[in-house]
Amino acid sequence: MDLYKELCEAAGAENVLTDEPMSRHTTFRIGGPADYFVTPSCVDEIRKIIEICHRNSIAYYIMGNGSDLLVGDKGYRGVIVQLFKRMNEIRVTGERIYVQAGALLSRTAAAACEASLTGMEFASGIPGTMGGALRMNAGAYGGEMKHIVESADILTADGEVKTLSVEELGMGYRTSVISRNDYVALGAVLKLQRGDQEQIRARMEELKEKRISKQPLEYGSAGSTFKRPEGYFAGKLIEDAGLRGYRVGDAQVSEKHCGFVINRGCATAAEVAQLMEDVADRVEERFGVRLQPEVKKIGEF
């Protein structure tokens, strides 16, 4: 049986695409075709897809909605497994929320607000999914996922499902045991507190206005392009290096916020990658600090 048929048996033919342009699935709006693009709906399907890839010696990559992803112009040779629209359940019980990995943080924060639960306002404007947020301990405006996660369900490389406490998740700055061990995040239980719904909504609106005024939301991007170096801010280093507005083709350091690399419309992955390298080189030359990418690069460039 060929790979396509095996994937169709695992996830359903309607959920397996071939030669799928990744520009349709990343917030950069960049990326060549993936050989296979599969959208499973449950843990068993994920397990089967991974087992198929291992047995056929085929590369695979687990993604959410592509908000931190730069896919090469030549595409991805292997299987992209997207946990997003078919694994996005959100269930509120008392002061806890169970969230599947594919649920957007914005939807989760909205559900918390509707239930008058506070603690997740910081994440209301982060464009990623719960799976990515768990993997990288997403944070903004002083809040981090480790502050609100009680436990998370993960799938190990051996196909075992485990529930890990927040302590076992080992969440640090843009890292966790999930990323370090290459586990698949399946979902999480969030522990929030009762709050005043109007105050929660007002805080979310306040943070929304901050984002609109300070971030280049009108362009394709992957959010903060570089990790924050200890003792510094990446955007400030880039600005002080004289790189505000620096361009490589249609890729540009945002003039609105130097921590963002944007796609002005027709940028290629190669242009973004070159710009990131140029920026890291210039900052290191000027300040002796090497910026590390927060954006993940996959595929053929």
Residues recognised as catalytic: 174, 224, 294
Which residue type does 231 have?
G
Phi then psi for residue 223, to 5 deg, are 70, -145
Q: Output the 3-class SS for 187-200.
A: EEEEECEECCHHHH
Q: What is the DSSP letter of 14?
A: G
Residues pairing with 297 in the sheet: 70
Q: Where are the alpha helices (DSSP H) in the chain?
A: 3-11, 43-55, 105-114, 130-136, 166-169, 177-180, 197-214, 234-240, 269-287
**From CA 244, how far away is CA 71, in angstroms rounded?**
24
Instruction: Tell whether the torsion through CA atoms of 54, 57, 58 and 64 is positive or negative.
Output: positive
Please give the distance of CA 263 from its chain centroid, rounded to a whole number.
Answer: 17
Phi then psi for residue 57, to 5 deg, are 55, 45
Listed in sequence order, the residues at least 6 apart from 198 whose beta carbon sits closer than 8 Å to its beta carbon are: none
Listed in sequence order, the residues at least 6 apart from 55 whose beta carbon sits closer than 8 Å to its beta carbon are: none
